[in-house]
């Protein structure tokens, strides 16, 4: 079949159903790309149905539905690649996108040559048991009622809560991945997340508190949300910090709480272990495989397997099933996270970490559920080991440099004196660099917990999980007054 014949068949592909019926049409595109001289051609097709709501005080202030459909086509030649996305899913539209991607590499389609392409494998369908997820998820009315219940619960906790917000987002996605190496796979994803934040104020005193909860593949997540428990936790944090004094700056030992405390490891270290960073030459760990980069107390993993965790997945966005990837073992660097392009350019094997926000992005190596593994101590033993220092119960926002320099604000913190928690303090910022801080994490507790979040990078924003047990950092710079 020639280009002109394929282009003349200006018919829509059957995108109301992602199934085996698409196979011959996709194979034609892949065969054309291979015949043009490409080493590998990959097609990522997606449908999405998303909604987000925001409740402020006692009203719904924003409702944002969105729907999408499109495809991303990526072509590899040597260590180079060309990527084009389109929402024109006719055969002519996809052929045009393929030609654009090929043109980036100096290639031109000719005629289909099956000698260079063996065809697609039988479809691996990870979505078969997930077809009802969208219909089973909370509708707009149910979501609205739940959010207003949350802000009302917050109002009943304390009159000092001047600002009460609750947000909900539901992201549903159906994807199909096909590549000229035979990959042919389908999946359905469902992610729900709730964010709650308050601002407490009395006189000149002011404090904020925020939490985020999220899951994957759990249609009843919003329904099962324990609103009163969340409201109590936020109110307690905001009230304790309302009259807190400013912390004094200095170098000191710090105990970081579990769960969202793991955001520092994710941002300051996890990104440095993605092959995306290796390709840029910005990771200080590029030549550190099987070398000591952390204290022997530290072991860390990235995986996509934990049940209902926000970063879990049945397959990555290149059609590969997830793994449990041991990144650091007893302080020794064991592995990097790698996608298809990263493996091609760095030699590190793929780890099921090729991820993208949607069809308009090419996949890149990204984290999934990333956390420091638990140790053998109790949180109380970590605190008891510190004469004078800082306990960080809840972390706020921060920033990270390209080689792992970071600063993160402490939302809820307490001084440690003589091995016991003392008065609350505010204004603390943790400042450091990954390669310097990792060797100073000398104790890990036995209370590993995970928290949902979003991560932005070259392939867009993706859902991830951060986590850790309580950890002790022997010395870190604490910014304050």
What residue spans define the domains of the chain? 3-49+65-128, 133-175+188-243, 250-479
Q: Is 120 helix (H, G, I), strand (E, B) or coil?
A: coil
Alpha-carbon distance 265 to 180, whole Å?
37
Alpha-carbon distance 181 to 226, whole Å?
46
CB 94 within 8 A of CB 29: yes
What pLDDT, on a 0 to 100 scale, did the predictor assign at position 1?
Answer: 41
**107: Cβ contacts below 8 Å, ≥ 6 apart:** 36, 37, 38, 75, 77
Alpha-carbon distance 214 to 191, whole Å?
7
Tens-binned pLDDT, residue by residue, of the chain (481 aa): 444 434 444 455 545 678 899 999 999 999 999 999 999 999 999 999 999 999 999 999 999 999 999 999 999 999 999 999 999 999 899 999 999 999 999 999 877 666 778 899 999 999 999 999 999 999 999 999 999 999 999 998 888 899 999 999 999 999 999 999 999 999 999 999 999 999 999 989 999 999 999 999 999 999 999 999 999 999 999 999 999 999 999 999 999 999 999 999 999 999 999 999 999 998 999 999 999 999 999 999 999 999 999 999 999 999 999 999 999 999 999 999 999 999 999 999 999 999 999 999 999 999 999 999 999 999 999 999 999 999 999 999 888 988 899 999 999 999 999 999 999 999 999 999 999 999 999 999 999 999 999 999 999 999 999 999 999 999 999 998 8
Backbone φ, ψ for residue 118 (5° rounding): -85, 0
Alpha-carbon distance 34 to 294, whole Å?
45
CB 467 within 8 A of CB 258: yes
Neighbours of 224 (CB within 10 A): 8
**Strands 471-479, 388-400: pairing kind:** unpaired
DSSP codes of every residue in 323-346: -EEEEEETTEE---B--HHHHHHH
CB 323 within 8 A of CB 292: no
What pLDDT, on a 0 to 100 scale, did the predictor assign at position 9?
Answer: 44
What pLDDT, on a 0 to 100 scale, did the predictor assign at position 398?
Answer: 86
Alpha-carbon distance 296 to 284, whole Å?
19
DSSP codes of every residue in 132-166: THHHHS--HHHHHHHHHHHHHHHHHH-TTEEEEEE
Alpha-carbon distance 319 to 339, whole Å?
11
For the four alpha carbons of 110, 111, 112 and 117, in that order, the dihedral sign comes to negative
Q: What angle do CA 270, 178, 463 make, to 5 degrees?
A: 30
- Measured between alpha carbons, how far apart are the two ends of the chain, in Å? 73
Q: Is 430 helix (H, G, I), strand (E, B) or coil?
A: strand
To the nearest 10°, report the CA torsion of 297, 265, 167, 233.
40
pTM (two decimals):
0.93
What pLDDT, on a 0 to 100 scale, did the predictor assign at position 17?
Answer: 78
Name the β-bridge partners of 47: 69, 174
To the nearest 10°, report the CA torsion of 49, 14, 180, 363.
-10
Q: What angle do CA 389, 395, 396 make, to 5 degrees?
A: 130
**283: Cβ contacts below 8 Å, ≥ 6 apart:** 272, 273, 277, 403
Alpha-carbon distance 282 to 269, whole Å?
12
Neighbours of 10 (CB within 10 A): 11
**370: Cβ contacts below 8 Å, ≥ 6 apart:** 262, 265, 266, 270, 300, 301, 302, 311, 327, 464, 465, 466, 467
Alpha-carbon distance 163 to 159, whole Å?
10
What pLDDT, on a 0 to 100 scale, did the predictor assign at position 113?
Answer: 67
Alpha-carbon distance 198 to 232, whole Å?
12
Alpha-carbon distance 457 to 4, whole Å?
39
């Amino acid at each position: 079949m020639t280009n002109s014949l394929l282009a003349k068949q200006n018919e829509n592909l059957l995108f109301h159903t992602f199934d085996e019926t698409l196979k011959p049409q996709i194979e034609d595109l892949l065969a054309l790309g291979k015949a043009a001289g490409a080493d590998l051609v990959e097609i990522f097709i997606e449908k999405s149905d998303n909604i987000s709501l925001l409740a402020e005080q006692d009203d719904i202030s924003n409702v944002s539905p969105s729907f999408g459909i499109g495809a991303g086509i990526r072509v590899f030649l040597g260590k180079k690649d060309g990527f084009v996305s389109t929402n024109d899913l006719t055969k002519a539209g996809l052929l045009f996108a393929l030609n654009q991607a090929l043109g980036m590499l100096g290639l031109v389609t000719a005629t289909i040559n099956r000698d260079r392409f063996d065809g697609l494998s039988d479809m691996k369908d990870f979505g078969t048991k997930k077809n009802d997820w969208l219909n089973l998820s909370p509708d707009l009315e149910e979501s609205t009622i739940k959010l207003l219940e949350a802000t009302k619960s917050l109002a009943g906790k304390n009159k000092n809560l001047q600002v009460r917000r609750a947000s909900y987002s539901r992201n549903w996605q159906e994807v199909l991945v096909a590549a000229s190496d035979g990959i042919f796979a389908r999946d359905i994803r469902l992610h729900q997340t709730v964010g709650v934040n308050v601002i407490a104020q009395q006189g000149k005193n002011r404090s904020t508190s925020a939490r985020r909860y999220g899951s994957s593949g759990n249609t009843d997540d919003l329904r099962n949300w324990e609103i009163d428990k969340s409201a109590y936790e936020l109110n307690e944090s905001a009230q304790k910090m309302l009259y807190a004094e400013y912390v004094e700056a200095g170098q000191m030992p710090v105990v970081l709480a579990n769960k969202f405390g793991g955001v520092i490891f994710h941002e300051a270290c996890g990104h440095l272990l993605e092959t995306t960073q290796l390709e840029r030459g910005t990771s200080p760990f590029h030549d550190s495989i099987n070398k000591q980069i952390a204290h022997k107390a530290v072991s860390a993993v990235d995986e996509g397997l934990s049940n209902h965790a926000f970063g879990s997945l049945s397959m990555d966005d290149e059609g590969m099933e997830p793994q449990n990837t041991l990144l650091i073992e007893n302080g020794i660097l064991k592995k990097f996270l790698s996608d298809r392009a990263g493996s091609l350019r760095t030699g590190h094997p793929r780890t099921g970490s090729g991820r993208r926000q949607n069809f308009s992005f090419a996949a890149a190596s990204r984290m999934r559920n990333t956390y420091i593994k638990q140790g053998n101590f109790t949180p109380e033993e970590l605190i008891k080991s510190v004469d004078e220092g800082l306990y960080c119960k809840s972390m706020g926002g921060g920033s990270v440099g390209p080689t792992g320099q970071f600063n993160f604000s402490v939302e809820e913190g307490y001084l440690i004196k003589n091995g016991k928690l003392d008065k609350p303090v505010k204004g603390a910022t943790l400042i450091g660099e990954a390669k310097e801080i990792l060797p100073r994490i000398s104790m890990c507790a036995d209370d590993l917990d995970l928290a949902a979040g979003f991560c932005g990078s070259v392939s867009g924003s993706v859902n991830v999980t951060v986590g850790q047990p309580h950890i002790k950092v022997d010395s870190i710079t604490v910014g304050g007054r």
